[in-house]
């Protein structure tokens, strides 16, 4: 396998004036086996690291990102220029202290920030598009493990993730039980619930209903399914927030006007906000990646992968677990973490489980929740 | 004004092999004034009646339908052939007893089942499309009142509605306080909350993102925004159900297959169900009507209409009120009904308020909830 650093994260066929990311990219020499039965040849894994691996290689923390996140956990996003998505959590002296830990954050398989995904070139030089194999959360973790092999990390101090990142953390603990000592899964689930599968399906249908999607073969055509992807993002974005956040942040306030327009403009602030969120998302994310990653999430079912009982997923693990949920998160509610806690208890695994009070809904794991900082710092220090 | 009965509910420009409804249609001779400042000339109101108006005209019950409902409250739907949407509640010996009451159910303004809406012909003979004025819940009730005038009903025994139907009931009580004795609002709100405005906006954006929408001028073009409307319906449909219903009804069960397809078919039953719901909806509903009716809902704000305080909306009312919410309804949760109850208390109005336990989420008002039957029958009999 080869490392390139810094490598342009070329997305030659995406319709954007693409800035490049300076993330390091690992190209796997061996085909990466996948749950679907195929193997991915020439898979690339883009990642960021922070801090230094210590002499006995015992201080590596793997951070797994959420659905539309990326490897820029604590460094500016190369397209938007915004700070890293967990800038407030990862860094010197922060809860995941890069003075102490060697932090690795890879872009997940199927994504569009340098790791292989549907927008990447297939062996024939053309973008995979829908020829990219359908991947799973475990496949994402397989890629992470290949990266850790390449980095010389045999055993992780910890794996940490929120939302889909938490699912990767749990998948790692279940399927590579000897390779991690601490597992911190925030606002996650062990089995994707039906309501979430439903919302994920709506997002995919919104993309696929856009004629510019062109059965996924939109790369290089000058057209991309931005309208459909924006609708998908708008719907998903509502699910990331709490009703209370929406009421407090926007309520029924009008946007730049004194009275209703009696038309179909974005009269309300919340409408304007959502339209912006939808539109901005299309600037930084590939529509096919959205299909593949939401598909991986809907397929996620640790119990099914491990013989039918969630507890069996953790039988072989020697790790300590910490589960965090948020009281206003209705997308991955506390009940999901509680199910995980019960399964871990049944498996005899050491687990602490805390529901935090935070007003921001599912997005709480990304936002200013000081108690979460304390939980993270405390769990990693023990 | 003229009555036609039975009248074909002509939707000459919609892309369906349109069965006709035999609903009675009232054509208003006077222009119907609207909140936007315009007046609708030649407005038509399609409606159904059940039972007989008694000699002193004291037994009329107005039933107001929800967003995508219609006048076929207890008679088969002319397009789908399905039973009336409240067939289990309205009829001889049922909670709204048509042996006793004269039930009137009009199709709302802006809809597509015979009442004037964007698919109706404008005075120039062409469909209004987006030239149809943006309407409000109060405008819908204005049309209802014109219908009641024509039917010789000065004072309603009751007005009853769930969801958007409940909002019409509350609007009637607020703006026509002398014309109703009992107001039963189920799973409703007095002010559309931000989260609901957000979901409504997603639905509209899904329709308007469909190139077949053609700025609303799709009538007669042979193309209509079915794909966008289906996505809108899918997203909305999730919000009508509870997480528990989705989990119990579908869980993670696969649809007509033994294992995951590793593709983008509807692998899961919940995906297949949603796709069906989305597609079936486009057979019976006009996309522009969906835009107009959701717009009316997002504009709904009784407090704002009545000087800023919700209590002021009910100051002039002499009616008795009954509010019902459901414990699993997260779209119009109990907190919304509680706000209404507080406002009614502050206005000195007699109000009973009950939260019922039912597993079906917002849709509970349409489904088998025996306790709701008892509440309705009890409230109307007092």
Query: Is the Cβ–Cβ distance between B304 and B340 less than 8 Å?
Result: no
Enter the tokens of residue B237: 């449909």
Provide the terminal-to-terminal Cα distance of chain B, rounded to the nearest Å.
35
Residue B60, min C-alpha distance to chain A (Å): 33
Chain A partners of B193 at a C-beta cutoff of 8 Å? 243, 246-247
Residue B291, min C-alpha distance to chain A (Å): 8
- Out of B195, B263, B330, name the one closest to residue A134 (CB): B263
Estimate the crossing angle of helix A287-299 against helix A226-240, to 10 degrees: 40
Report pLDDT digits (tens) over B38-83. 999 999 999 999 999 999 999 999 999 999 999 999 999 999 999 9
The residue that leads in pLDDT, B340 or B7, is B340
CA A88-A93-A99 angle, 5° bins: 115
Q: How far is CA A162 from CA A68, A180, A326, in A?
A: 12, 17, 11
What pLDDT shows up at residue B78?
Answer: 93
Residue B328, min C-alpha distance to chain A (Å): 13
Query: Is the Cβ–Cβ distance between B97 and B45 less than 8 Å?
Result: no
Report pLDDT digits (tens) over A208-254. 999 999 999 999 999 999 999 999 999 999 999 999 999 999 999 99
Length of chain B counted residue by residue: 382
- Out of A210, A246, A264, name the one closest to residue B295 (CB): A264
Confidence class for position B1, pLDDT limits 50, 70, 90: very low
Chain B partners of A210 at a C-beta cutoff of 8 Å? 209
Active site (annotated) includes residue A329: yes
Confidence class for position B239, pLDDT limits 50, 70, 90: very high
CB neighbour list of residue B225: distance below 8 Å, 6 or more residues apart: B207, B208, B210, B212, B213, B214, B218, B287
Above 90 in pLDDT, residue B100?
Answer: yes
CATH 3.40.50.1820 domain locations along chain A: 2-193+300-381
Helices and strands of chain A, counted as H and E runs: 10, 13
Residue A363, min C-alpha distance to chain B (Å): 15
Above 50 in pLDDT, residue B10?
Answer: no
Mean pLDDT of B158-177: 98
Report pLDDT digits (tens) over A144-193. 999 999 999 999 999 999 999 999 999 999 999 999 999 999 999 999 99
Mean pLDDT of chain A: 94
With CA atoms as reference, the chain B residue closest to A241 would be B195
Active site (annotated) includes residue A163: yes
Half-sphere exposure of B373 (CA within 13 A, CB side): 14
Q: What are phi and psi of B180, to 5 degrees?
A: -150, 140
Based on its alpha-carbon atoms, the radius of gyration of chain A, rounded to whole angstroms, reads 20
Above 70 in pLDDT, residue A16?
Answer: no
Above 90 in pLDDT, residue A15?
Answer: no
Of chain A, the percentage scoring pLDDT greater than 90 comes to 94
Above 60 in pLDDT, residue A4?
Answer: no
- Tell me which of A139, A286, A362, A363 is the catalytic residue: A362
CB A201 to CB B234 under 8 A?
Answer: yes
Residue B231, min C-alpha distance to chain A (Å): 6
Above 70 in pLDDT, residue B8?
Answer: no
Tell which B residues from 127 to 166 touch A, by Cβ distance under 8 Å. Answer: 130, 133-134
Tell which A residues from 285 to 314 touch B, by Cβ distance under 8 Å. Answer: 291, 295, 298-299, 301, 304
Cα–Cα distance, B45 to B5 (Å, whole number): 12
Cα–Cα distance, B277 to B269 (Å, whole number): 12
- Tell me which of A97, A139, A226, A329 is the catalytic residue: A329
Enter the tokens of residue B341: 């109850």
Above 70 in pLDDT, residue B119?
Answer: yes
Chain B partners of A250 at a C-beta cutoff of 8 Å? 194
Chain B partners of A334 at a C-beta cutoff of 8 Å? none
Chain B partners of A110 at a C-beta cutoff of 8 Å? none
Mean pLDDT of B212-237: 98
Query: Is the Cβ–Cβ distance between B218 and B212 less than 8 Å?
Result: yes
Confidence class for position A21, pLDDT limits 50, 70, 90: very low
Above 50 in pLDDT, residue B12?
Answer: no
DSSP string, B195-232: HHHHHHHHHHHHHHTSGGGGGG--TTTT---HHHHHHH
Cα–Cα distance, A283 to A83 (Å, whole number): 16
CATH 1.10.1740.110 fits B196-293, yes or no: yes
Mean pLDDT of B175-203: 98
CB neighbour list of residue A232: distance below 8 Å, 6 or more residues apart: A202, A203, A204, A206, A207, A278, A290
What pLDDT shows up at residue A382?
Answer: 83
- Tell me which of B120, B329, B363, B364 is the catalytic residue: B329
Cα–Cα distance, B21 to B46 (Å, whole number): 9
Sequence-ordered alpha helix ranges (H) in B69-156: 137-151
CATH 1.10.1740.110 domain locations along chain B: 196-293
Cα–Cα distance, B354 to B342 (Å, whole number): 13
Tell which A residues from 186 to 245 touch B, by Cβ distance under 8 Å. Answer: 191-195, 197-199, 201-202, 204-206, 208-211, 227-228, 230-231, 234-235, 238, 241, 243
Confidence class for position B22, pLDDT limits 50, 70, 90: low
- Out of A134, A195, A211, name the one closest to residue B246 (CB): A195
What pLDDT shows up at residue B382?
Answer: 83
Cα–Cα distance, A186 to A189 (Å, whole number): 9
Mean pLDDT of chain B: 94
What pLDDT shows up at residue A17?
Answer: 37
DSSP B368: -
- Out of B194, B238, B251, name the one closest to residue A252 (CB): B194
CATH 3.40.50.1820 domain locations along chain B: 2-194+302-381
Helix (H, G, I), strand (E, B) or coil at B379: helix
Report pLDDT digits (tens) over A54-103. 999 999 999 999 999 999 999 999 999 999 999 999 999 999 999 999 99
Q: Which CATH superfamily is domain B2-194+302-381 in?
A: Alpha/Beta hydrolase fold, catalytic domain (3.40.50.1820)
The answer to whether B39 faces chain A, any CB pair under 8 Å, is: no
Mean pLDDT of B152-165: 98
Report pLDDT digits (tens) over A26-52. 999 999 999 999 999 999 999 999 999
Chain B partners of A195 at a C-beta cutoff of 8 Å? 238, 241, 243, 246-247
Complex ipTM:
0.92
Architecture per CATH, A2-193+300-381: 3-Layer(aba) Sandwich (3.40)
What pLDDT shows up at residue A22?
Answer: 63
Respond yes or no on whether the N-terminal peptide bond of residue B6 is cis (omega within 30° of 0): yes
CB B201 to CB A274 under 8 A?
Answer: yes
């Amino acid at each position: 396998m080869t490392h390139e650093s810094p490598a342009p994260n070329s997305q030659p066929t995406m319709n954007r004036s693409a800035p490049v990311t300076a993330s390091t990219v690992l190209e796997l020499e061996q085909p990466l086996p996948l749950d679907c039965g195929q193997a991915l040849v020439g898979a690339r894994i883009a990642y960021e690291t922070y801090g230094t691996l210590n002499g006995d290689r015992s201080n590596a923390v793997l951070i797994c990102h959420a659905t539309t996140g990326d490897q820029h956990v604590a460094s500016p996003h190369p397209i938007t220029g915004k700070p890293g998505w967990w800038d407030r959590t990862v860094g010197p002296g922060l809860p995941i202290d890069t003075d102490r830990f060697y932090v690795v954050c890879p872009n997940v398989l199927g994504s569009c920030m340098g790791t292989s995904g549907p927008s990447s070139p297939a062996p024939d030089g053309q973008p995979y598009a829908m020829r990219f194999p359908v991947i799973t959360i475990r496949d994402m973790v397989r890629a992470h493990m290949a990266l850790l092999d390449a980095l010389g990390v045999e055993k992780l101090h910890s794996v940490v993730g929120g939302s889909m990142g938490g699912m990767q953390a749990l998948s790692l603990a279940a399927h590579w039980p000897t390779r991690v000592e601490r597992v911190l899964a925030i606002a996650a689930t062990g089995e994707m619930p039906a309501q979430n599968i439903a919302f994920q399906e709506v997002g995919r249908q919104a993309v696929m209903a856009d004629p510019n999607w062109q059965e996924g073969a939109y790369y290089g055509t000058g057209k991309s399914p931005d309208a459909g992807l924006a609708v998908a993002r708008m719907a998903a974005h509502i699910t990331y927030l709490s009703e209370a956040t929406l009421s407090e942040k926007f309520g029924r306030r009008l946007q730049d006007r004194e009275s209703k327009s009696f038309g179909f403009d974005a009269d309300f602030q919340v409408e304007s906000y959502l339209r912006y969120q939808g539109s901005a998302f299309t600037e930084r994310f590939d529509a096919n990646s959205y299909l593949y990653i939401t598909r991986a999430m809907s397929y996620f079912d640790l119990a099914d992968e491990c013989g039918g009982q969630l507890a069996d997923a953790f039988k072989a693990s020697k790790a300590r677990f910490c589960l965090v949920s948020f009281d206003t998160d209705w997308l991955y509610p506390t009940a999901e973490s509680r199910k995980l806690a019960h399964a871990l208890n049944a498996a005899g695994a050491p687990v602490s489980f805390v529901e935090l009070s935070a007003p921001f809904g599912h997005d709480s794991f990304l936002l200013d929740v000081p108690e979460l900082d304390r939980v993270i710092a405390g769990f990693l220090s023990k």
